[in-house]
Chains A and B, each alone.
Chain A
Amino acid sequence: MGTLRISIPGISPSTRTVESLVQLYGNKIYKLAFHLTGSSSDAEDVVQEVFLKLFRNWTSVSACRNLSAWIYRIVTNASVDLLRSRQSRARREKPVESEMMEAVAASTPSDRPGSRLDREELQEKLHHALETLPPQQVAALMLFDHEGLKAREIAEIMNVAEATVRGYVWEARRRVKELLKPYLAGKTA
């Protein structure tokens, strides 16, 4: 993770203000960013960026009546930007979760119950499948199928038409389904 220099001109939030907001929202923001980027270190960058923007825009955020939507927007934009830049890099960073999954895969089946092994395998395959998608499709898919937001809400967050959101979600599902199919098809019999 790169170092992020934080400087907030013209505002100096109290220590209690910062502590309260970071403790209250930090984990939720991190988890959402992790789902969107698939990377622990990218999620850490997003957390820092979100809080930086929160306090930079303190006046408007203070008056905000829908903080959830504001956070979704900032996290999504930051995550999509990071995914784009990551995809353009020649060498990709190895996500922590992927390493964990490799360790699980390396263990013998007798180490753990079959159902848990299945879940671990599926998570690993899903993780890799998501890595192959364009960033906006990942964002739309995760916001729709994981976070449970409506297409209209996602359209506002991503600043695109509602039909575009459905197109992203359905195309993302189609691609993930094709990649998971060999694994899932055996379980439908």
Chain B
Amino acid sequence: MSPIKPYCEKMCAHLDAYHDDDLSPFLRSVVSKHLQSCASCRREYTVLQMTIEAVAQKRSPDVPPRLLKKVIRDLTRGGHGGSTVPRELLDPKLLDGLQGST
């Protein structure tokens, strides 16, 4: 495997910011042009994209129903009076930003 060129090393240092659209327009166009012409850096960027995609698609199990029952049991032990739930807390829109489908 050939050693990475100094210019490629500089470009690769910007790949995260390039992916996140966090570069100045000038630097973005410099990185973009370099990626078009350099197969090695393009491969590096592809691996970065695949890594981010893998994190984005990370799966999780559903909550065990017994846990929810336990929490409810523990929290309601010793009485059934008290305050009622504020309506706004039951609005699912409040949790729009909270992912939970994967």
Contact = CB atoms under 8 A, between A and B. Distances in A.
B71 A47 contact: yes
Given A170-B16, A187-B50, A51 B99 contact: no
B41 to A, nearest CB: 12
A148 B99 contact: yes
Interface string B47-63: 11011101111111111
A88 B99 CA distance: 29
Interface string A65-100: 111100110000000000000000000000011000
A101 to B, nearest CB: 10
Give the interface size bracket for B toward A. Answer: 35 or more
Contacts, number: 175
A177 B67 contact: no
Contact of A18 (B43, B75, B86, B97): B75
Given A6-B75, A18-B72, A47-B67, A58 B55 contact: no
Interface of A: 4, 6, 8, 11-32, 34-35, 40, 43-44, 47-48, 51-52, 55, 58, 61-62, 64-68, 71-72, 96-97, 119, 122-123, 126, 141-142, 145-149, 166, 169-170, 173-174, 176-177, 180-181, 184-185, 187-188
